[in-house]
Amino acid sequence: MILLQLFGGFFKIGLFTLGGGYAMLALIKQEIVRYNWITPQEFVDIVGIAEVTPGPIAVNAATFVGFRSAGIKGALVATSAVVLPSLISVIIVSRAWQKYKNSQTIQSMFAGIRPVVVGLVGAAAFMVGTATFDVLDSFSHQLWTTVLAGVTFYGVAFKKWNPIRVIIGAALVGLLVFL
């Protein structure tokens, strides 16, 4: 029974997450409260964990909630349910895209959408930046945050540095310089 609830709840979460990001947290919370899968304190924990672990927050939350409420089986059911809407909708849209992508209308449409994506990625950088740079942090913390962000930007934008190596390097520098 709980497996069915997990499947239904997380399928719905996957289906109604549009544009990704933290917008879906409200929906996750609503479903969790409705079924009492985990406690409100555990929900706060999930948000904290999702921030420091790789991968989409929806997948992280599904695995965590599923595991806490019904073990490994629950984790697998909830995680499958949350990605199933992606699989279905992408298959449908991908077919249509392959079929029409050479038409003049679709070409013009994407010529307008590409700059939007640039603006959205720029906005993401700005918003993640203001969330990361905390004026209440110590001077050295602020300084190192700025240096790491700046060096990463320069290396990846102009020197084709491998982003994965940069992340590993930043983690090591962080271990040494942050208090």
Q: Locate tokens 């992408």: which residue? A: 90
How far CA 2 is from CA of 31, 43, 116, in Å, comes to 13, 18, 42
| Residue 71: both structure tokens together | 């073990």
How far CA 53 is from CA of 50, 58, 103, 139, in Å, comes to 5, 12, 41, 27
The dihedral through the CA atoms of 179, 60, 129, 24 has a sign that is: negative
Q: Which is nearer to another protein, 8 or 126 (CB)?
A: 126
In the complex, the smallest distance separating the C-beta of residue 26 from another protein, rounded to whole angstroms, is: 13
In the complex, the smallest distance separating the C-beta of residue 9 from another protein, rounded to whole angstroms, is: 15
Q: Which is nearer to another protein, 33 or 88 (CB)?
A: 88
Rounded CA gap, 34 and 177, in Å?
44
Rounded CA gap, 39 and 1, in Å?
19
Q: Which is nearer to another protein, 33 or 109 (CB)?
A: 109
In the complex, the smallest distance separating the C-beta of residue 126 from another protein, rounded to whole angstroms, is: 6
Q: Which is nearer to another protein, 30 or 110 (CB)?
A: 110
In the complex, the smallest distance separating the C-beta of residue 136 from another protein, rounded to whole angstroms, is: 14
In the complex, the smallest distance separating the C-beta of residue 4 from another protein, rounded to whole angstroms, is: 20
Q: Which is nearer to another protein, 40 or 119 (CB)?
A: 119
Rounded CA gap, 72 and 139, in Å?
44
Q: Which is nearer to another protein, 30 or 53 (CB)?
A: 53
In the complex, the smallest distance separating the C-beta of residue 33 from another protein, rounded to whole angstroms, is: 20
Name residue 101's amino acid. K
How far CA 143 is from CA of 73, 128, 131, 133, 135, in Å, comes to 46, 17, 15, 10, 11
